[in-house]
Amino acid sequence: MSSFDTQLLLIALASVLVLVALIVSRIRLHPLLALLVVSIGVGFATGMAPGEIVKNLTNGAGKTLGAVGVVIALGAMLGKILADSGTTERLASAILQRTSERMIPWAMTLVAFVIGIPMFFEVGLVVMLPLIFSVARKLESNERFKGSAYVYVGVPVIAALAAMHGMVPPHPGPLTAIATLHTTVGPTMLYGFLAVIPAMVLGGPLYGAFITPRMSTRPDAALLEQFTSGKKEGGQGSAPSIGMGVLCALLPALLMLVHALAEVLLPKDSGLLHAAAFLGNPLVAMLLGVVFASITLGYLRGADAEKLRDALGQSLKPIAGIMLIIAGGGAFQQILTSAKVGDAIVHMTQQFALPPLVLGWMIAMLLSVSTGSATVGIVGAAGLLAPLAASDPSLNVPLLALAIGCGSLFFNYANHAGFWMVKESFGMSMGEATKTITVVQSIVSFVGLLMVLLFNLLPKLG
């Protein structure tokens, strides 16, 4: 490990501390401005040319908006349609009528678990927000309820979606680790499903029950009204059936699930696989979901086309700031990645004498924390340990892939797009976001590692 590596690590640490200070101190700089200012500072501190800094800023923001921003916008539109048609209200009422207050987090965990099988974390959260807000808004009307209902309902969803995203194929992280380590999907998926259960329980309902009384979080009024109003701005007639509403809400997830199953069951050169991959792409699946909901919950029920269009346009206003802040997070992430902070982390971890499963978790964790990219963590850790996986027949390679995926989840913070999405969607301060998504994902990551070590004591699968 060279002195330059040490310098890079210190710069990365200082950049996060400065970012937090700019946002929470008396300066109260807007998160987007703070992210861009700190990103530029990191670029100059690591010796980047001015043109390279600008290129990294635009590429990072553009890639993040391309991957996440449009999907968030489509999710906001779908949420608006579901709210205006009364679907979200009816789903929330059904959950509350059939579930005791104490069991609501467990019910939401189960819903998020199913949604999270095919959906990325950010996409799943966008789809779940209308239901989270509707259930929480009804719950907070109970005067006996203490703390933030939005944390009580939201934390289990965050835990389940994060656990599924990092541990279970066909999510891109686990699949990348599987491909790089030349192992198989089946055992990794089975290990992942078994590890997810205690991880999402401890990080979700149990931690949520602990933190809820200590929080007063409430989303922005405009966003809350958009997802829970139930006003028929599109001019709809009678409320749609609950079955049709559920189908509209779950259609994107179903399309992604079909893609996931096709990847496992069909040969790579299959035309059906290519069709499933297209329809199951998050952007296409969300677009089809919005179009389907517009037709079935809007036009076929006599909606006024102009009013429906205006309602969809209004749905973008509350989330415009969220999208731009997430783009700023993408720019910060790209600057850290281009500065080779990840290489410095790899050089540091090469000095550790640790068991392969623990080392895989630690490398992925350090790379993810330092660069703000779980993908960088997984690719770096899997690439570094691939020769060992190929040469050591005693090593349980599916467990190594799972350990790497778990490590990539640890300490999701200010250089991660998901952190800003949770913070801004729920109207949290930096401290509140840290107590929720950062701690939740750290619990999920650590419990996942413990499950990996436990599984390693048992006979291999497959």
Angle between the N-to-C axes of helices 282-297 and 70-84, in degrees from 0 to 180, rounded to the nearest 10: 20
**Per-residue pLDDT at 449:** 98
Q: Looking only at Cα atoms, what is the longest distance across the chain?
A: 69
Q: Does position 239 have pLDDT exceeding 70, yes or no?
A: no
Local confidence band at 462 (pLDDT 50, 70, 90 cut-offs)? low
Q: Does position 410 have pLDDT exceeding 50, yes or no?
A: yes
Local confidence band at 232 (pLDDT 50, 70, 90 cut-offs)? very low
**Sign, Cα dihedral of 63, 67, 70, 73:** negative
What is the spatial distance between Cα 158 and Cα 444, in angstroms, rounded to a whole number?
10
**Phi and psi for 355 in degrees, rounded to 5?**
-60, 150
List Cα–Cα distances, 413 to 102, 254, 341, 418, 431, in angstroms.
Answer: 29, 30, 16, 8, 11
Listed in sequence order, the residues at least 6 apart from 436 whose beta carbon sits closer than 8 Å to its beta carbon are 151, 154, 155, 158, 211, 215, 217, 422, 426, 428
Assess whether the previous peptide bond of 170 is cis (omega < 30° from 0): yes
Q: Does position 73 have pLDDT exceeding 60, yes or no?
A: yes
What is the spatial distance between Cα 154 and Cα 207, in angstroms, rounded to a whole number?
11
Q: Does position 235 have pLDDT exceeding 70, yes or no?
A: no
Q: Does position 59 have pLDDT exceeding 60, yes or no?
A: yes
DSSP symbols for 80-124? HHHHHTTHHHHHHHHHHHHS-GGGHHHHHHHHHHHHHTTS-HHHH
Half-sphere exposure for 345 (CA within 13 Å, toward CB): 29
pLDDT, tens digit (0-9, with 9 covering 90-100), for 260-269: 788 778 888 8
pLDDT, tens digit (0-9, with 9 covering 90-100), for 62-72: 998 887 888 88
**Per-residue pLDDT at 238:** 60
Local confidence band at 278 (pLDDT 50, 70, 90 cut-offs)? very high
Amino acid at 15: S
Q: What number is the average pLDDT over the span 311-322?
A: 89
**Per-residue pLDDT at 161:** 95
**Taking the domains of the chain in order of start, what are their residue ranges?**
3-457
Q: What number is the average pLDDT over the span 381-396?
A: 91
| DSSP run (H or E) holding 18 | helix 3-24
Q: Does position 236 have pLDDT exceeding 60, yes or no?
A: no
**Per-residue pLDDT at 205:** 98
**Per-residue pLDDT at 346:** 85
pLDDT, tens digit (0-9, with 9 covering 90-100), for 122-160: 888 988 999 999 999 999 988 889 999 999 999 999 999
Closest-CA residue to 413 (of 300, 321, 336, 361): 336
pLDDT, tens digit (0-9, with 9 covering 90-100), for 414-435: 988 899 999 999 999 999 999 9
**Mean pLDDT value across the chain:** 90
| E-strand stretches of 111-172 | none
Local confidence band at 93 (pLDDT 50, 70, 90 cut-offs)? confident
Q: What number is the average pLDDT over the span 271-285?
A: 92
**Sign, Cα dihedral of 23, 154, 162, 348:** positive
Structure tokens at 379: 């690719």
pLDDT, tens digit (0-9, with 9 covering 90-100), for 196-224: 999 999 999 999 999 999 999 999 998 99
Length of the chain: 462
**Per-residue pLDDT at 233:** 42
**Phi and psi for 400 in degrees, rounded to 5?**
-65, -40
Task: Say which residue, 461 or 387, is predicted with more confidence.
Answer: 387
pLDDT, tens digit (0-9, with 9 covering 90-100), for 174-190: 888 998 999 988 889 89
pLDDT, tens digit (0-9, with 9 covering 90-100), for 367-384: 999 888 888 899 889 988
Half-sphere exposure for 176 (CA within 13 Å, toward CB): 19
Tell me the whole-structure pTM to 2 decimals: 0.85
| Plot region of 301 (φ>0 → left; ψ -120 to 50 → alpha; else → beta) | alpha
Q: Does position 282 have pLDDT exceeding 90, yes or no?
A: no
Q: Does position 458 have pLDDT exceeding 80, yes or no?
A: yes
Secondary-structure breakdown of the chain: helix, strand, coil percentages, each rounded to the nearest 5: 80, 0, 20
Instruction: Yes or no: say if 409 and 448 are a contact pair by the CB < 8 Å rule.
Output: yes
Share of the chain above pLDDT 70, in %: 97
